[in-house]
Structure 1
Amino acid sequence: MYTDFLASYRGVIPRARHRPVGKDTGLTAHIERFWLTLRQRCARLVRKTLTFSKCPRNHLGALWYFIRLYNESRH
């Protein structure tokens, strides 16, 4: 796994699989692009005032719906 140099990754990802790299290498670009797409298409993750729901189940449903449609469009 390629990540940036954030210290919290060392505690979560096993050392044998973790490869910290700089953002200028481009190896983390695909996941950075995914998070940007997720934030843009699911407004509820960015601001509480847009499409906000108090029910956690609704948030999980919206995330599930987005990921399913995103994966289907990638094939």
Structure 2
Amino acid sequence: MSTFFQTRAEIEAHLPTIRPRALKLALETRETIAMTWRICGEKADAPIAELRRCTLEMIASAKKQEQRFQAALDDGLYD
């Protein structure tokens, strides 16, 4: 889901929430992986690997989004 911001204030309000939301999701994913491993054992190796890969991509995407928003603010695009 994409969010489009119209004002500098909207971006400034959103920017500090990006990393905490990504980290919260990563922690929830870690708990899911641990529970899945306990229940399914080695049969869960492939799905767990995919879940880890997706989680790392999500964290990288959040960092990029944070950088893009900060760059837009620094460049004065929302002044």
User: What TM-score, normalized by structure 2, do the two folds share?
Assistant: 0.35
Greater percentage in strand: 1
Higher Cα radius of gyration:
2
Greater percentage in helix: 2
Name which structure has the greater RCO, CA cutoff 8 Å, separation 6+: 2
